[in-house]
């Protein structure tokens, strides 16, 4: 096993014990096997999902309610990158990485045994573990050090990507998968509803597809302004206008071709079904705190819509995200609005939750 000369015995880690019970603790630095990798975390993004976990969110599935997303106590965090400080011989051969490389692991740790994994669809793994969700077997990145497990899918990060921007690789990978699911065409009118970090990434990716018209929707003026700077043809605030009416004006009364929802708000679902044209495509990428009731006759009897979901990063999202950041095709510098030391996590989470002044809040350890 290769490792740097000095790795401390203990480290700071941000652990959740239950709803609204988050503690910064001194814990042991993870030990690794010959199949694992240890990194010094350089940056971790606070995801809207992290905020919802702290608020005690549960997942709705097939008419029932699954247990909470996390098996506590566990170190939070799944948007990360870091420098390799120890690497097992087997992991080195498998990942093609060396001591000192910057690296990232995909947010999901697949089982490699279910039918989805065997078909190459690891992001749909039925036994999936997400970093920051399960104690001991999927500890997260809100710590000074973290380990990549034997089944982790690991990628090298080029040195020309700034350290604070490695926290945006995971959100950008999710955006890549969503835009691929949307199958945007040149003549499409595309709406991105919800301009948080992932929404602003999706807007830039959609722009690269060169649609006929690109529209951004959000409640926050700052985010709408950045969307303009990123190439949106129009931006609308639902509190200031009837967004459905505005989109219909731009499309001769027909509505948008592609509606991509990423706000996690039930009203955004209803808004999209109303706004989209007949034979349009609705893509849902959101984490909801509650279930949402809609008139399903809109989807079938009235508009014959294609409705698609998008779950995390898909097959190639990470590599595409890393490549586009490295080439400068996607700009995340305006999305990262605040950086905090891990000791200031309370202020960081409060700012991230409010969403009024921040877009992406990054923790440094």
**DSSP H or E segment with residue 93:** helix 89-95
**DSSP H or E segment with residue 281:** strand 276-284
DSSP secondary structure string for all residues of 40-55: EEEEEEPPHHHHHHHT
Indicate the pTM of the whole model: 0.95
Report the CATH number that the domain containing residue 286 is assigned in CATH: 3.40.50.720
**277 and 344 assigned to the same domain:** no
**297 and 346 assigned to the same domain:** no
Distance of CA 84 to CAs 9, 90, 156, 315, Å? 16, 15, 10, 24
**DSSP H or E segment with residue 307:** strand 306-309
**140 and 181 assigned to the same domain:** no
What proportions of the chain, in percent to the nearest 5, are helix, strand and coil? 30, 30, 40
**212 and 352 assigned to the same domain:** no
* Domain count along the chain: 2
- pLDDT of 62 reads 39
Structure-token pair, residue 318: 């990470």
Burial string for 11-25 (b: 16+ CB within 10 Å, else e) reads bbbbbbeeeeebeee
8 A C-beta contact, residue 294 and residue 270: yes
Give the whole-angstrom CA distance, residue 303 versus residue 272. 12
- pLDDT of 365 reads 85
**149 and 180 assigned to the same domain:** no
Is residue 246, in this structure, part of any structural domain at all? Answer: yes
Beta strands in 35-179 (DSSP E): 37-45, 58-61, 64-68, 74-75, 79-87, 102-105, 108-109, 129-130, 145-148, 154-156
Is residue 71, in this structure, part of any structural domain at all? Answer: yes
- Coil, helix or strand at residue 26: strand
- pLDDT of 70 reads 81
Nearest to 106 by CA among 324, 365, 313, 363: 313
Give the whole-angstrom CA distance, residue 310 versus residue 312. 7
Is residue 317, in this structure, part of any structural domain at all? Answer: no
**144 and 226 assigned to the same domain:** no
pLDDT (tens digit, 0 to 9) for every residue of the chain, 365 residues total?
999 999 999 999 999 998 899 999 999 999 999 999 999 999 999 998 899 888 876 543 434 444 556 889 999 999 999 999 999 999 999 999 999 999 999 999 999 999 999 999 999 999 989 999 999 999 999 999 999 999 999 999 999 999 999 999 999 999 999 999 999 999 999 999 999 999 999 999 999 999 999 999 999 999 999 999 999 999 999 999 999 999 999 999 999 999 999 999 999 999 999 999 999 999 999 888 778 899 999 999 999 999 999 999 999 999 999 999 999 999 999 999 999 999 999 999 999 998 888 999 999 98
- Domain range for 131 is 2-157+335-364
Structure-token pair, residue 226: 């950045």
pLDDT in tens, 230-242: 999 999 999 999 9
**86 and 153 assigned to the same domain:** yes
**122 and 15 assigned to the same domain:** yes
**148 and 277 assigned to the same domain:** no
Give the whole-angstrom CA distance, residue 12 versus residue 164. 19
- Coil, helix or strand at residue 67: strand
Give the whole-angstrom CA distance, residue 70 versus residue 134. 6
- pLDDT of 288 reads 81
């Amino acid at each position: 096993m290769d490792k740097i000369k000095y790795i401390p015995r203990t480290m700071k880690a941000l652990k959740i014990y239950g709803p609204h019970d988050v503690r910064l603790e001194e814990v042991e630095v993870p030990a690794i096997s010959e199949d694992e990798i240890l990194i010094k975390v350089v940056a971790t993004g606070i995801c809207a999902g992290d905020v919802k976990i702290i608020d005690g969110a549960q997942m709705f599935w097939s008419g029932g309610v699954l247990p909470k997303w996390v098996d506590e106590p566990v170190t939070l965090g799944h948007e990360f990158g870091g420098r390799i400080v120890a690497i097992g011989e087997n992991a080195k051969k498998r990942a093609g990485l060396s001591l000192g490389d910057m690296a990232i692991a995909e947010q999901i740790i697949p089982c490699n045994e279910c039918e989805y994994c065997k078909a190459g669809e690891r992001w749909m793994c039925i036994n999936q573990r997400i970093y920051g969700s399960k104690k001991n077997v999927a500890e997260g990145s809100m710590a000074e050090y973290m380990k990549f497990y034997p089944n982790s899918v690991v990628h090298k990060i080029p040195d020309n990507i700034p350290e604070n921007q490695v926290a945006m690789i995971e959100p950008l990978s999710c955006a890549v998968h969503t835009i691929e699911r949307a199958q945007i065409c040149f003549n499409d009118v595309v709406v991105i509803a919800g301009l948080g970090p992932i929404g602003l990434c999706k807007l830039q990716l959609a722009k690269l597809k060169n649609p006929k018209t690109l529209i951004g929707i959000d409640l926050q003026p700052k985010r709408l302004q950045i969307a303009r700077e990123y190439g949106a043809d129009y931006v609308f605030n639902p509190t200031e206008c009837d967004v459905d009416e505005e989109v219909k004006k731009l499309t001769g009364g027909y509505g948008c071709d592609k509606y991509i929802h990423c706000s996690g708000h039930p009203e955004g679902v209803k808004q999209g079904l109303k706004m989209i044209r007949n034979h349009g495509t609705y893509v849902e990428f959101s984490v909801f705190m509650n279930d949402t009731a809609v008139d399903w006759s809109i989807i079938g009897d009235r508009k014959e819509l294609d409705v698609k979901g998008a779950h995390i990063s898909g097959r190639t999202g990470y590599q595409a995200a890393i490549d586009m950041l490295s080439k400068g095709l996607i700009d995340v510098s305006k999305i990262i609005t605040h950086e905090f030391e891990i000791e200031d996590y309370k202020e960081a989470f409060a700012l991230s939750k409010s969403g009024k002044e921040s877009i992406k809040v990054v923790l440094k350890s």
